[in-house]
Amino acid sequence: MSSFTLGHFSQVCSQLLNHYYGEIVGQVGSYLLRRGNRMLNDIPTATGLSIREVKKALAVMIQHNLVKFQASERNNNVAEYTMIHHNVYCLIRYPKYLYMIKRIYGTSEEILLEILLNLGQASASNVIFHSANRLNEANVLSPSALHQSFQRLAQDNFIIRCPKLAENATLLKVPTLEIEEKEKFAVPNVEIEPIARMLKEKATQLGGHCDSEIIWRVNHERFDIELRNVILVNAAARRVDTTAGELYHLILKLWRESSNPDSPVTTPVSYNVIKDAVRKNDSSPILLEHFDHYLRVLYEDSAGLIDRAGDAGGGQFNLDYSKVFENLACASLDSIVLERFGSKALRLFRLTRIQKFMEQDQMQNVAMIPAKEAKMFTYKLLEHNFLQIKELKKGTSNFAPVKSFILYHVELPQVVRTTLEASYKGLFNAMVRQMHDLTENQRLLEKHAMLESMLERLKGDGVPDEEIAELSDTMPPAEKSLVEKIHLMSDNLTLGQTQADETILILESYLKFKSKEL
Amino acid sequence: MGGRGRGRGNAVSFNIEQLGFGRGEAGPVSVTQPPPLFPSLENRPLPLIKDVENEYILVTQKDLSTRMRNSPFYLKPSENTSYEKELPVLWNRMPAELRETLPKRLATGNSKVTLNAKKKKVEDPDKIFAKLEKKERTESEVEEDGDGKEDEDDQDKSDDEKVEMEDDVVEDDDPEMDDETDYANNYFENGEAYLDDEDGQDDGEAQF
């Protein structure tokens, strides 16, 4: 299936589906990404797959919250399927989710989340059962401890309940699913004994259980918020220092508890509330001592991490997401320009961005760059769409040649969108290259993996060292170094993808909050 | 680009100096071939950040990839077994059309087994089918028809692609049969009793 008709973002999504769920799901997914709402019948003809495979692919994607369905208007018994673009893209962030959960809570919550990510949608008992199985070598964690961990995750909204089957759903061909606001994070009673019993019997599946109709999934929106908070806290820590980062983290929590998650500006929080929170929380002594200074530094900083919104209660502080993400996006663009074109180009870019509209002459004078170089860099920036041109005609008399002013400016949403597309493309390229390297050398890598595992086993059995060395020599050093190289390259590509994803998050957030404020 | 300064009204709208060339210097080199496939890398990108988080991500990513590749959700082309049992998917939350065997059919004892049964290796539907056959033989005598149709299905592979095949295989030529089952006929009232009952309705209470 040609991926040339997909935009860059959809190409990335299609690549992710291929990687995690296989070619069949990838093909069905690409088709739906390209075509939007489709019914079951349309898919086999377009993709060349058998209807059986298409059904399996759709079932897998629905299970993993990547596809949603709705009864078609024309015929109630048939469903129309649509991809949930954002969730497909979030596949790339799963390792980050796990890292965050591990950092905030601990290993048992991390395992719970991993199991839920693997299953897609599952009941609480199922998740607890499988997690206990996974951790069974330690045998320290009992199902009830895992149940508490599960509750913690639900309380902080990292996992959310899926809509349940409506009353008449079993009679309909296309079930309707609905959920009420208050039920979204309510953990049902989970019977621990059956789970414990199954675990003792070393069962691989949990049989029927009381909460089998209450299904949970990962709450992507909450993780997005958390990822954004991490970026902001890191920004605060870089701007000032780590203690400021700590303070900022606390304030973010206060804002989150009091604000509507959809609003672009948080509700203001007063100075006294912040001070209380700092004292209650186990903060470092430096923070307690210099709390005033840190707060002041943060809100006077031009990055807009904290805005002073009023004077009541010792000072009211809030956060304007669109402003802070505009600053972050600009910082990202600045560093991109710097690394690609050099510091002189960066000076021109920043100048134009801050001054809004500038003429060529003005630019080279204010930036203090020699004329020829200034012109070259201006042209380069223009060519790569970092600068935009606006022409103003200044025709006065009918006889004189019409003079026009050529003004340069930076239209931020447009530049951000171009850079975002370029980031998706870079991400896609890295993924394709990684896939290519791994499949081309698959035999070699598998051979190496088998050899390694065999050596490990033998070492564990206490086989003498000379024999082990002999066995490991069956693979020539040239091959070994090749395998090393492949692993290194694959690691670098993964890191590159992760970093590209961070930039993408910042740019996407800017565009999202910008569109909200209008 | 003629007409430089030659008489009024014939001049061009820009000054050649604005482009950055003096009078005598050559213009830009004209392009004679398509641009290279990869643009040359002028500045080397910054090195990748390698910190605790990224180390963790590397390990987790590999782990996750392996786990997902080995999970039953990773679909590989295979035609054999009944996927409804294999795939650990919550079937009751999905549209009925995605299922392999339509539940209503089995319950009413119709003989439609699997749509794409190329090989008859499917164990479970066979067992269920056998049980149902026995039940049906004690209840009614209609199922001869059904067996014949089932063999047809196995041989006729093109039926796999046709989605309307469900309608093709219907035993009873029931014109009111909607897609796969005819429970619609039996479940909902067919409206003929609507006017009859009017006399016995409540007095003036709103009907919805």
Mean pLDDT (chain A) is: 86
How confident is the model at residue B154, as a pLDDT? 41
More confident of the two residues A454 and B31: A454
d(CA A303, CA A325): 9
Distance CA B205, CA B208 (A): 10
Full pLDDT tens readout for chain B, 208 residues: 444 544 455 556 666 555 655 555 556 667 788 877 877 777 778 888 888 999 999 999 999 998 998 888 888 887 666 777 778 888 888 888 888 765 554 344 344 444 444 444 445 667 777 777 777 776 655 444 444 444 444 444 444 444 344 444 444 444 555 555 556 555 655 555 555 544 444 444 455 4
Number of Cβ atoms within 10 Å of the Cβ of A90:
23
From the list A481, A496, A498, A497, the residue with the least C-alpha distance to A441 is A481
Strand-pairing partners, residue A269, are A317
Q: Which residues of B touch A24 (CB under 8 A)?
A: 75-77
Q: What is the pLDDT of residue A299?
A: 86
Neighbours of A440 (CB within 10 A): 11
Parallel/antiparallel/unpaired status of strands A269-270 and A316-318: antiparallel
- Cβ atoms of A86 and A16 within 8 Å: the answer is no
Please give the distance of CA A46 from its chain centroid, rounded to a whole number: 31
**A32-41, A269-278, B25-34: which has the minimum mean pLDDT?**
B25-34
Test A99 with B53 for CB contact under 8 angstroms.
yes
The confidence score (pLDDT) of residue B150 equals 42
**pLDDT at residue A280 is higher than 80:** yes
Q: Which amino acid is at A46?
A: A
**Amino acid identity at A465:** D
How far apart are alpha carbons A60 and A54 in whole angstroms?
10
pLDDT at position B82 is 76
What's chain A's length in residues? Answer: 518
Higher pLDDT, A394 or A379: A379
Map out the domains of chain A with their CATH numbers: 8-85 (1.10.10.10), 92-218 (1.10.10.10), 223-319 (1.10.10.10), 324-394+403-410 (1.10.10.10), 415-515 (no CATH)
Rounded to the nearest 5°, which phi and psi values hold at A511?
Answer: -65, -35
Chain centre to alpha carbon of residue A518: 25
Q: How confident is the model at residue A19 (pLDDT cuts 50, 70, 90)?
A: very high
pLDDT band at A16 (very low <50, low <70, confident <90, very high): very high
Which pLDDT value is given to residue B13?
A: 61
Give me the helices (H) in A201-342, please: 220-239, 242-258, 271-280, 285-300, 321-341
Nearest chain A CA: its distance from B53 CA (Å): 7
**Which chain B residue lies closest to A103 (C-alpha atoms)?**
B53
Q: How confident is the model at residue B113, as a pLDDT? A: 43
User: Is A495's CB within 8 Å of B187's CB?
Assistant: no
Cβ pairs bridging A and B (under 8 Å): 162
Q: Which alpha helices (DSSP H) does A64-123 contain, by range?
A: 85-89, 94-104, 107-119
Contact B94 A175 (CB under 8 A): yes
Which DSSP category does A182 fall into?
A: G
Q: What is the pLDDT of residues A107-128, one digit of tens each?
A: 889 999 999 999 999 888 888 8
pLDDT at B19 (0 to 100): 60
Lowest mean pLDDT, pick from A112-126, A275-289, A353-367: A275-289
Q: With contacts defined as CB-CB under 8 Å, which chain B residues touch A175?
A: 92-95
- Reported in sequence order, the residue ranges of A18-97 that DSSP labels E, i.e. its strands, are 38-39, 67-71, 79-83
Residue A151 has a CB neighbour count (10 Å cut-off) of 14
Q: Please answer yes or no on whether A496 and B48 come within 8 Å at the CB atom.
A: yes
The pLDDT tens digits for A115-171 are: 999 999 988 888 888 888 887 755 556 778 888 889 899 888 899 988 888 776 666
Instruction: Give me the residue from A21, A400, A401 closest to B73, CB to CB.
Output: A21
Half-sphere exposure of A390 (CA within 13 A, CB side): 11
Q: CB–CB of A52 and B74 under 8 A?
A: no
Report pLDDT digits (tens) over A256-272.
Answer: 888 887 788 888 888 88
CA distance B1 to B12: 8
Q: Judging by beta carbons within 10 Å of its beta carbon (0-12, 13-18, 19+), is residue A215 exposed, middle or buried?
A: buried
Res. A296: pLDDT tops 70: yes
Confidence (pLDDT) at A326: 93
Q: What DSSP element (H or E) covers A143?
A: helix A143-155
CB contact under 8 A, B88 and A102: no
pLDDT-wise least confident of A291-295, A371-375, B175-179, B183-187: B175-179
Average pLDDT over residues A178-194: 79
Task: For residue A132, give the nearest of A63, A203, A189 by alpha carbon.
Answer: A203
Q: Which helix (H) or strand (E) holds A177?
A: strand A177-178
Contacts with A41 from chain B: Cβ below 8 Å: 163
Q: Kindly state the helix (H) or strand (E) to which residue A218 belongs, with its residue range.
A: strand A215-218
- The yes-or-no verdict on residue A507 having pLDDT over 70 is yes
pLDDT of residue B16: 58
Number of Cβ within a 10 Å radius of residue B148: 11
Q: State both tokens at A433.
A: 């290259």
Q: Please judge whether B60 and A99 are an interchain contact, meaning their C-beta atoms are less than 8 angstroms apart.
A: yes
Q: What is the ipTM of this complex?
A: 0.84
Question: Measuring CA to CA, how many Å separate A337 from each of A231, A345, A357?
Answer: 21, 7, 19
Using pLDDT thresholds of 50, 70 and 90, give the confidence band for residue A337: very high
Nearest to A487, CA basis, from B53, B67, B58: B58
A49-106: per-residue pLDDT in tens?
A: 888 889 999 999 999 999 998 888 888 788 899 999 999 999 999 999 999 999 999 8
Three-state DSSP state, A81: strand
DSSP state of B181: B
CA-nearest of A495, A501, A510, A514 to A331 is A510
* Nearest CB partner across the interface for A40, out of B42, B46, B97: B97
C-alpha angle B145-B148-B152 in degrees, rounded to nearest 5: 135
Tell me which residue in B73, B83, B93 faces A177 most closely, judged by beta carbons.
B93
Considering only residues A26 and A516, tell me which one the structure prediction assigns the higher pLDDT.
A26
- Chain B residues whose CB is inside 8 A of the A22 CB are 74-76
User: Chain A window 47-86: which residues touch B at a Cβ cutoff of 8 Å?
Assistant: 50-53, 55-60, 62-64, 69, 77-79
Residue of A104, A299, A342 whose CA lies nearest to B42: A342
Contacts of A332 in chain B (CB under 8 A): none
**Whether the Cβ atoms of residue A120 and residue A217 lie closer than 8 Å to each other:** yes
